[in-house]
Amino acid sequence: MRRGWKMAMSGGLRCCRRVLSWLPVLVIVLVVLWSYYAYVFELCLVTVLSPAEKVIYLILYHAIFVFFAWTYWKSIFTLPQQPNQKFHLSYTDKERYENEERPEVQKQILIDMAKKLPVYTRTGSGAVRFCDRCHLIKPDRCHHCSVCAMCVLKMDHHCPWVNNCIGFSNYKFFLQFLAYSVLYCLYIATTVFSYFIKYWRGELPSVRSKFHVLFLLFVACMFFVSLVILFGYHCWLVSRNKTTLEAFCTPVFTNGPEKNGFNLGIVKNIQQVFGDNKKFWLIPVGSSPGDGHSFPMRSMNESQNPLLANEEPWEDNEDDNRDYPEDTPSLALETET
């Protein structure tokens, strides 16, 4: 009886958590819908008097709005990609791993499995990165999201504003969403500003539209400042070919920690997110190269350079044996363990 009650409570809490997780998205949708009404009806159709100006404002606004809404939709509903089956422990390996009580033997089991896989990153102590919740060896740049309860390929962060985990499958859409959000706010602020001044000076009659126009400028400027900072930060990450998690916790490779391990140069770094075909860079369609399980690395290119062959190999010492936080929350907007 007591066990059934606990299970029911647990199920109810999970259901409430799912519902509450959509609240930030609902807030954004309501703000966007109000901004659409305020701009199209209260500004363009009521306040703006010139027919030519109305047409130009409405055409440009809707062009930006379509891409803004399209990228937001893709960021929300593009599911995070999980590691494929070959990274999961087989039933036999899982049973052997769980029944083994000696840590050193468990470590060797994972090492033997990792030899068959394209994995080059390690934990802070040099061990194979293993998720004991998903029972799989983590591919490079993969992390376990505590909110989504799964391992996500090339995980960047979990964003409550899209109620989704941002990773390999939708990072391009998330960046485009930030870019079009900045453009959306900037366009509204610049076109509304002249009418804000006219209302302020009393050149226009004080009607209901006045309050929508004044508040529209305030909201656009407020969101613009926060979004341009976030977008600028992610542009910096793309230019260095880093995820948010990698920026806060340096990835460790088989030869040691390397903060620029995936940095291929700015052009190739951008292509790693947006693809080689530039005509798809502004459109929210999948164009990121690869399958999210392995990535080109700077260290491999350097290892083929004879000038770097005499560098000392990384060794396990007391400092390197400390456990790095494998999955660390990085921004207020992110949740990842």
pLDDT digits (tens, 9 = 90+) for 205-247: 867 888 999 999 999 999 999 999 999 999 999 999 999 999 9
Task: Give the residue from 121, 143, 160 where a domain finishes.
Answer: 160
Mean pLDDT over 47-76 rounds to 96
Q: What band does 337 get if pLDDT is binned at 50, 70 and 90?
A: very low
Give first-to-last CA distance, the chain, whole Å.
33
Residues 196 and 140 placed together within one structural domain of the fold: no
Q: pLDDT, tens digit, for every residue of 157-188?
A: 999 999 999 999 999 999 999 999 999 999 99
% the chain with pLDDT above 90: 69
pLDDT attached to residue 91: 87
Question: Of 44, 145, 148, 159, which is the active-site residue?
Answer: 159
Is residue 285 situated within a structural domain? Answer: no
Sequential DSSP letters for 99-144: H---HHHHHHHHHHHHTTTT--EE-TTS-B-EETTTTEEPPTT-EE
Domain that holds residue 111: 85-160
Q: What band does 54 get if pLDDT is binned at 50, 70 and 90?
A: very high
188: closest CA among 39, 41, 55?
39
Task: Give the residue from 130, 160, 190 where a domain finishes.
Answer: 160
Q: What band does 3 get if pLDDT is binned at 50, 70 and 90?
A: low
Q: Write out the H or E segment, with its range, that includes residue 35.
A: helix 23-37
Residues 144 and 266 placed together within one structural domain of the fold: no
At residue 319, does pLDDT exceed 70? Answer: no
Is residue 57 within 8 Å of 48, Cβ to Cβ?
A: yes
Residues 71 and 183 placed together within one structural domain of the fold: yes
Mean pLDDT over 27-48 rounds to 95
Is residue 211 situated within a structural domain? Answer: yes
Residues 129 and 272 placed together within one structural domain of the fold: no
Residues 101 and 49 placed together within one structural domain of the fold: no
At residue 145, does pLDDT exceed 80? Answer: yes
Strand pairing category for 136-137 and 150-152 = unpaired
Is residue 113 situated within a structural domain? Answer: yes
% the chain with pLDDT above 70: 85
Residues 129 and 196 placed together within one structural domain of the fold: no
Residues 122 and 264 placed together within one structural domain of the fold: no
144: closest CA among 337, 321, 280, 297?
337
**pTM reported for the whole predicted model:** 0.85
pLDDT attached to residue 300: 61
Residues 142 and 172 placed together within one structural domain of the fold: no
What is the CA 99 to chain-centroid distance, rounded?
37
pLDDT attached to residue 5: 63
Is residue 11 situated within a structural domain? Answer: no
Is residue 215 situated within a structural domain? Answer: yes
Mean pLDDT over 25-54 rounds to 95
Residue identified by tokens 């508040």 is 215
Task: Give the residue from 280, 301, 326 where a domain finishes.
Answer: 280
**Which parts of the chain are beta strand (E)?**
121-122, 130-131, 136-137, 143-145, 150-152, 157-159, 164-166, 252-253, 256-257
Strand pairing category for 130-131 and 136-137 = antiparallel
pLDDT attached to residue 322: 35
At residue 317, does pLDDT exceed 70? Answer: no
At residue 333, does pLDDT exceed 80? Answer: no
Residue with more model confidence, 211 or 59: 59
Mean pLDDT over 77-91 rounds to 94
Q: Residue 120 to residues 143, 259, 294, 325, 331: CA-CA distances in angstroms?
A: 14, 14, 9, 18, 26
- Sign of the Cα torsion 290, 292, 298, 302 reads negative
Is residue 8 situated within a structural domain? Answer: no
Number of domain units in the chain: 2
Residues 151 and 172 placed together within one structural domain of the fold: no
Euclidean distance between CA atoms 61 and 183, whole angstroms? 10
Residues 175 and 31 placed together within one structural domain of the fold: yes
Is residue 12 situated within a structural domain? Answer: no
Q: For this structure, is 221 an active site residue?
A: no
At residue 336, does pLDDT exceed 80? Answer: no
Residues 66 and 187 placed together within one structural domain of the fold: yes
Q: What band does 2 get if pLDDT is binned at 50, 70 and 90?
A: low
Is residue 89 situated within a structural domain? Answer: yes
Residues with Cβ < 8 Å from 147, sequence gap 6 or more?
A: 21, 158, 165, 335, 336
Q: What band does 302 get if pLDDT is binned at 50, 70 and 90?
A: low
Other Cβ atoms within 10 Å of 3 Cβ, number: 7
Residues 229 and 121 placed together within one structural domain of the fold: no
At residue 22, does pLDDT exceed 50? Answer: yes
pLDDT attached to residue 10: 66
Q: pLDDT, tens digit, for every residue of 264-286?
A: 999 999 999 999 999 999 999 99
What is the CA 193 to chain-centroid distance, rounded?
32
pLDDT attached to residue 4: 62
Q: What band does 23 get if pLDDT is binned at 50, 70 and 90?
A: very high
- Sign of the Cα torsion 149, 155, 156, 161 reads negative
**DSSP-assigned letter for residue 204:** S
